[in-house]
Amino acid sequence: MFRASIAIILFLSLSNCSPRNVSNFCDADSDVFLNELLFRLTTEDKSSHCGYKLTIPNSPICGRSYDVTHLPENWEDVKKEVESQFALGSSGPETLVQYSPDSVSAAISSGYPAFQSALSAPNGKVYLLPYNSPNIVSIDPNNRSYALSTSVPGLVDFIGGILGPQGKIYLAPHQNNDFFEFNTANESMTTIGNVTMGGASYNGGIFAPNGKIYFTPGNESIIRYYDLNTKTIGQVSTPVSGGIFSNAVLTPEGKIYFIPHDATNIHILDTKDDSVTVHPSAIGGSGGYFSGVYAPNGKIYIIPYNAATLYVLDTKNNDTLTSLGNIPASTTGMFNGAILSPNGKIYLIPYNYANFASIDTRNDQLSILMANPATNSYRGGAIGRGGEIYLSPHNVNRFDLLDTHSNGSFCDSIKLSPYWNKF
């Protein structure tokens, strides 16, 4: 419909051969006026044009690019689409599926623990990002096959990554000083910067609405970013304090919540002005938490690692922090990663915990699921085509997915959205 309207306007403009006034930019009969109007329509520029406010109907969110879904003006459409999938529920209980007969050790030959985190990409593949693996590994959800992709130095050079525009993944430097860009279109790796840092520097990050990739501080007290507009590495002036942060969560207000691991308090970065505030409640320390997930209900679910208590932070209620109770039979190193599924549940990825677990975001109910097949098993995962979660094997020597049996599914715009396709 939009393209048809453009074509009609263009046809009328070209078919009228009467002389026009080209000297007045705001003369509706001038070529300059019409050309500017066409340009603004085709680029969806909604700014005022000669005193007229252009109103351009939004396309359905699933028709928009994933790299604009995190813009604040798109949140209500994102929320509506996600909740429509939630309403479809599930067809049955979850199952753990070993989708390849090959072992991880046979696939990568060497390099254990193997992977930490996974990301979905616009080419339809899921990428397992290395911990000690000598290669990035791609998974094709169409036939559940794997392939070795780009080789990497290994030795925990990076932990996690962030999907930016054009299918490019920005890897978070951990044990080196290089910043890498992995292009999933041709599976090539490019060094985009170098900064002298200490070890265990960053753990994943967030692609923010302002066009910056923010990296989650590990041992670094500086929040660094890669500016996609200027292609430069910069830093936020206010440092974080208290120690390691393990993960980050983006909200529709453009704020990034850093989840405390050895740090004690959540730190909040407002990407509109790069200001940093500290949440008053101390919940972390001693490797307390590792993951966080934002849900359409406005809550951030904070997932325990060494701590026993499951917390939820309500961003719609002055960032009120509430306990959802303790994890049954809690231990150390419990969960490493959490994934939002189309059935409305958040799945907690077990590391040393004896079982998988889920939280139903509609009622905050925690459920304990099937057994974890190993110890130090998984670190993160990514959503596939139909709501299945491809798990990132750390020490477990097999390729597994968690079939959530969701009746709904996330379209690519949602599946790849910076809100959830992250580590």
* DSSP line for 154-176: -SSSEEEEEE-GGGEEEEEESSS
pLDDT band at 26 (very low <50, low <70, confident <90, very high): confident
**Lowest-pLDDT choice from 55-64, 170-179, 201-210:** 55-64
Interatomic CA distance for residues 222 and 116, integer angstroms: 22
Q: Average model confidence (pLDDT) for the chain?
A: 91
pLDDT band at 317 (very low <50, low <70, confident <90, very high): very high
pLDDT band at 59 (very low <50, low <70, confident <90, very high): confident
pLDDT above 60 for 267 = yes
What pLDDT, on the 0 to 100 scale, is given for residue 356? 99
Q: Are residues 237 and 352 in the same domain?
A: yes
pLDDT band at 256 (very low <50, low <70, confident <90, very high): very high
For residue 43, is it within any domain? yes
Interatomic CA distance for residues 8 and 296, integer angstroms: 39
Q: Are residues 302 and 343 in the same domain?
A: yes
What pLDDT, on the 0 to 100 scale, is given for residue 34? 67
Distances (CA, A) of 357 to 96, 226, 298, 313, 365: 12, 35, 21, 19, 10
Q: Are residues 282 and 195 in the same domain?
A: yes
Q: Which of 42, 57, 72 is the last residue of a domain?
A: 57
pLDDT above 70 for 287 = yes
Q: Are residues 20 and 140 in the same domain?
A: no
Report the SS3 class of residue 177.
coil
Q: Are residues 305 and 403 in the same domain?
A: yes
Q: Can you list the pairs that 328-332 forms with residues at least 24 positions away whose Cβ atoms lie under 8 Å?
A: 328/368, 329/354, 330/304, 332/287, 332/305, 332/306
What pLDDT, on the 0 to 100 scale, is given for residue 303? 98
pLDDT band at 57 (very low <50, low <70, confident <90, very high): low
Q: Are residues 27 and 142 in the same domain?
A: no
Q: Are residues 26 and 107 in the same domain?
A: no
What pLDDT, on the 0 to 100 scale, is given for residue 1? 40
Task: Give Cβ neighbours of residue 15 (< 8 Å, ≥ 6 apart).
Answer: none
pLDDT in tens, 149-191: 999 987 899 999 999 999 999 999 999 999 999 999 999 999 9
Task: Give Cβ neighbours of residue 384 (< 8 Å, ≥ 6 apart).
Answer: 120, 126, 139, 141, 390, 401
Q: Are residues 235 and 354 in the same domain?
A: yes
Q: Are residues 49 and 98 in the same domain?
A: no
For residue 196, is it within any domain? yes
Q: Can you list the pairs that 370-376 forms with residues at least 24 positions away whose Cβ atoms lie under 8 Å?
A: 370/94, 370/95, 370/96, 373/96, 373/398, 373/400, 376/113, 376/333, 376/351, 376/352
For residue 77, is it within any domain? no
For residue 396, is it within any domain? yes
Q: Token pair for residue 284? A: 């972390």
Per-residue DSSP letters for 83-137? HHHHTT-BSS--EEEE--SS-HHHHHSS-SS-EEEEEE-TTS-EEEEESS-SEEE
Q: Are residues 94 and 52 in the same domain?
A: no
The residue type of 181 is E
Interatomic CA distance for residues 378 and 347, integer angstroms: 13
Interatomic CA distance for residues 43 and 208, integer angstroms: 21
42 closest CA partner among 6, 87, 94: 6
For residue 70, is it within any domain? no
156: alpha, beta or left? (left if phi > 0; alpha if psi -120 to 50): left
pLDDT band at 14 (very low <50, low <70, confident <90, very high): very low
pTM tops 0.85: yes
pLDDT in tens, 357-414: 999 999 999 999 999 999 999 999 999 988 999 999 999 999 999 999 999 999 999 9
For residue 63, is it within any domain? no
The better pLDDT of the pair 49, 136 is held by 136
For residue 345, is it within any domain? yes
What pLDDT, on the 0 to 100 scale, is given for residue 385? 83
Interatomic CA distance for residues 261 and 289, integer angstroms: 5
Q: What's 225's domain CATH number? A: 2.130.10.10
- Domain membership of residue 26 as a residue range: 2-57
Q: Are residues 304 and 380 in the same domain?
A: yes
Domain count, the chain: 2
Distances (CA, A) of 96 to 35, 351, 381: 57, 15, 13
Mean pLDDT along residues 72-84: 98
Q: Are residues 45 and 176 in the same domain?
A: no
412 closest CA partner among 421, 403, 400, 404: 421
For residue 64, is it within any domain? no
